[in-house]
Structure 1
Amino acid sequence: MDEGAQQTRPARRPGRMVGRVLGFPVYLHPSMLLLALLVTVVYGGYAETELGLAGAAAYAAGFGFVVCLLGSVLLHELGHALTARRYGIGVRGITLELLGGWTELDRDAPTPRVDALVSLAGPAVSFVLGGLATAAALALPDRTVAGQIVFQIAAGNVIVAIFNVLPGLPLDGGRALRAGLWALIKDRNRATVAAAWCGRGIALLTAMSVVTLYRLNVLTLFGLVFILLVVYTLWQGAGQSIRLARMTRRYPLVDLGTLARPLFAVPSGTPLAEAQRRADAADRARDALAVADSSGRVVALVDAAGSAAVPAERRPWVSVDAVSQDLGRLPVLSLGLSGEQVVRAVQAHPGAQYVVTSGEDVVGVLHIADLAELLEPRRAARRPSGR
């Protein structure tokens, strides 16, 4: 299954970079190695029993089939990537994983039309590959290794193309549906939520269908497990789309001027317990605890998680310097950034806290937990609280 052209992904890379194709970085997820091994073994057994190949030749055919599958997935994703580039949208990379692949874009499509074109470019490539492979299969002799591989590649590409144009996120057809709803109601976030719920509906219908086929002995146990894994991925992807749409809707609420915590500075060498006592006494316990040098200049920030990890009985003996980070080594956010710019910067430079500046002046500290609470209040309400 292809997850289509995705905009928001974790900043850490989920796989190893294996090279560049047409200038796009290509990453291989570890799960793809599992799939490659599984398909090689299964197809090798098929080649032995059905095609008459023996031993190493059968599994070499299985490996060749895996390479063709990977090539098909890569070409599908290149359809997304090249179309995005055509419309001025940057591509961070293409990742190939267990159930297909995804293309990471550096921003959303600017218009519904571009969104639809980028989304449908991948299935269009798969349809073309399926057509070319079908023509090749008809030209090759039947019951040969080459003929069988080409026929199955043709069938695979056509099935992938048809499945991916189903109208529900995270499938490509769901992104096209989102684009159409966006054009109609003029609200991309609401359109995303609607298309994601359609995706969950498709996942449920698919699950019920495959269970029925299994009970009728039309589908093998392996096929049942594999398709249910696809269904689970669909459900999770739709849920992530809903979550991101709700977050994006709250971007205008992000104001660093009010969200950043003011600094409460203590001299270098102050015991952690004493620093916390002073903050409590000044009714500034929620402020960002900072470390100042002998001239009063702030030089470091106390790491909230690090200080919380110090047992209470040890805090009188642990200096604030021991649980602090140098100011110059922390990521910086400018006070004038918009909500979307703040989120993009946080995705690019993950961390627990960020220095907020106005010109050359440090005006406060943004805790990532505060940003998460603003963007996802439902999740924050379910989290256990603690100092």
Structure 2
Amino acid sequence: MEQSVPRPRRPGRPGRPVGHVLGIPIYVNGSMLVLAALVTAVYGNYVRAELRLPEPWGYLVGLGFVICLLGSVLLHELGHALTARKFGIGVRGITLELLGGWTEMDRDAPTPRVDALVSLAGPAVSLVLGGVATAATIALPDRTAAGQIAFQLAASNILVALFNVLPGLPLDGGRALRAGLWALIKDRNRATEAAAWAGRILAFVCMIIALWLYRLETLTLFGLLFVLLVVFTLWQGAGQSIRLAKMTRRFPLVDLARLARPLLTVPAGTPLGEAQRRRSEDPRPNVVLAVSDSAGNLTALVDPVAAERVPVDRRPWVAVDTVSRSRDAVPALRLGLTGEQVVRALQAHPAGQYVVTTGEDGKDVVGVLRVGDVAEVLEPRRLRRP
């Protein structure tokens, strides 16, 4: 699966960096390690019984299969990543996790054609790997460790390719469906929502089939739990796609001139209590306190969280400078950016607040943008829930 996230990124990533492939950072989620250990144990026991191997050798074969499987997942995601790079889309990284992996890109595909090609590149790689593994299965001697690994890789890669092309987000086939609808109705966001609802229907159908097979005793309890985990992941991923499409539709409402909060500057050394008194008397709404030097130049912004932590009885004796952040340490946004450009800038440089500047040199500060104000524009209903 590939993913382009049109929202500010969290400072941390759900995975540990393990290296680079062709310049692309690779991360491994802790859940992938859990799955690797489980597959090593389950498949190791299966191979040991089938080939009558001693216990340590069975688990070594299981570990070998896991390594090959991880390699297959990585190649699948590289199919997405390299195709995206070919069309000028930056790739932030590939994360391997419990049920496969995902590729994070820095922007959406510019056209439906590119969207479809990037989406289907991963399943195409898996299908090729499945074909190669099938040929290896036929060529290798029967009832050998190598033959068993080749057979399992053939089955798993072909299954992954077929499952991923099912028409529903967040699967790759859902992204291809989104591309087709986008080309048809000329609205990417509506196409995304439609493909995401198809994904939710797909998840529901998979759950019904799994429960029916379990009732017929065709599917084991372990198999049922695994399928339900996949169903839950599909449902959550589809829901996130719906949410992101709705957010993207609201990008034009992100207007820096309207959202920037006005500044009230006080000289360096002003007591915090006095600065807060001046702000309370200012008739403008949502005023942000700032600090200026003797020449009147803006030097820092008051950190509202740090200011609130100062006890009320101490505020007359604490200089406003001590609860402020240097102007140079606060990211800047130029007045005149489009809503999408603002969101992309927040995504690239996560912070709690940003100075809004104007002028040719970008040094004239006209206000402060709080990231919470942008979030309220993009998801008003979500933030108003109790």
- State the TM-score, normalizing by the size of structure 2: 0.94
Supply the distance in 1 between the matched residues of 2:155 and 2:111 (Cα, whole angstroms).
Answer: 33
> Does residue 293 of structure 2 align to residue 293 of structure 1?
yes
1:62 Cα shift? 0.9
Could you say what secondary structure the match of 2:148 adopts?
A: helix
Q: Are the structure 2 counterparts of residues 43 and 317 from structure 1 closer, same or farther at C-alpha, using a change threshold of 3 Å?
A: farther
Query: Which residue of structure 2 aligns with residue 97 of structure 1?
Result: 97
List per-residue Cα deviations over 1:153-206 (Å, max 9, x = no partner). Answer: 111111111111111111000000000100010000000011011111111111
1:55 is displaced (CA, Å) by 2.3
Kindly report the root-mean-square deviation, in angstroms, between the aligned alpha carbons of the 2 structures.
Answer: 1.7
Q: How does 1:51-130 map to 2 (within 5 A)?
A: 51-130=51-130
- Is the Cα–Cα contact under 8 Å of residues 279 and 285 in structure 1 kept in the other structure? no
Task: Please tell me whether residue 382 in structure 1 is matched to residue 379 in structure 2.
Answer: no
**CA–CA distance in 2 between the matches of 1:364 and 1:227?**
51
| Offset, 1:239 | 1.1
Kindly provide the CA deviation profile for residues 246-295 of structure 1, in whole angstroms up to 9, marking residues without a partner as x: 11111112111111111111233333333222211122351111122333
> Counterpart of 2:344?
344
Q: State the distance in 2 between where 1:114 and 1:124 align.
A: 15
Letter in 1 for 2:95: T
Partner of 2:193: 193
Match of 2:4 in 1: 7
| Identity among equivalent pairs (%) | 69
Of residues 274-283 and 307-316 in structure 1, the stretch that sits farther from structure 2 once superposed is 307-316
Query: Could you report, residue by residue, the CA deviation over 1:25-75 in whole angstroms, capped at 9, with x for unpaired residues?
Result: 222222211111111111122222222111221111111011111111011
What's 1:335 paired with? 335
Per-residue Cα deviation, 1:213-234 (whole angstroms, up to 9, x for no partner): 2222222222222221111111
SS at match of 2:182: helix
1:349-369 alpha-carbon deviations (Å, 9 max, x no partner)? 111100111122011110001
2:329 & 2:113 partners in 1: Cα distance? 42
Range moving further from structure 2, 233-242 or 135-144: 135-144
CA positional deviation for 1:307: 2.7
User: Does residue 367 of the first structure (1) align with residue 364 of the second (2)?
Assistant: no
| CA deviation after TM superposition for structure 1 residue 121, in Å | 0.8
Q: Give me the whole-angstrom Cα distance separating, in 2, the residues matched to 1:216 and 1:339.
A: 53
Unaligned 5+ segments in structure 2 are none
More displaced 10-residue stretch of structure 1: 237-246 or 84-93: 84-93
The answer as to whether partners of 1:79 and 1:122 remain within 8 angstroms in 2 is: yes
Give distance in 2, aligned partners of 1:214 and 1:314.
66
Q: How does 1:233-272 map to 2 (within 5 A)?
A: 233-272=233-272
The alignment's TM-score, normalised by the length of structure 1, stands at 0.93
The equivalent residue for 2:38 is 38
Q: CA deviation at 1:321?
A: 2.2
Q: Which moved more, 1:64-73 or 1:271-280?
A: 271-280
Cα distance in 2 for residues equivalent to 1:88 and 1:312: 54
The letter of the residue matching 1:160 is V
What SS class does the counterpart of residue 108 from structure 2 fall into? coil
Counterpart amino acid of residue 168 in structure 1 = G
SS at match of 2:350: coil
Residue 355 of structure 1 corresponds to which residue in structure 2?
355
Query: What SS is found at the alignment partner of 2:376?
Result: helix
- My pick for the range that moved more, 63-72 or 230-239, is 230-239
Per-residue CA shift, 1:334-378, capped at 9, x if unaligned?
Answer: 112211111111111111100111122011110001011111111
**Structure 1 range deviating more: 36-45 or 162-171:** 36-45
Q: In the alignment, residue 145 of structure 1 is paired with which amino acid?
A: A
Q: Which residue of 2 is the match for residue 277 of structure 1? A: 277
Rounded to whole Å, the distance in 2 between the matches of 1:313 and 1:174 is 59
- Per the alignment, do residues 157 and 267 of structure 1 end up closer, same or farther by CA in structure 2, a change over 3 Å counting? same
Q: Structure 1: state its 5+ residue gaps.
A: none
The 3-state SS of whatever aligns with 1:114 is helix
Q: What is the one-letter code of the residue matched to 1:80?
A: H
Secondary structure of the corresponding residue to residue 141 of structure 1: coil
- 1:313, CA displacement in angstroms? 5.1
Specify the SS of the correspondent of 1:295.
coil
**Structure 1 residues 220 and 324, CA gap change in structure 2 (3 angstroms):** same
CA distance in 1, matches of 2:67, 2:107: 31
User: How far apart, in 1, do the equivalents of 2:273 and 2:379 lie?
Assistant: 32
Name 1:154's counterpart in structure 2: 154
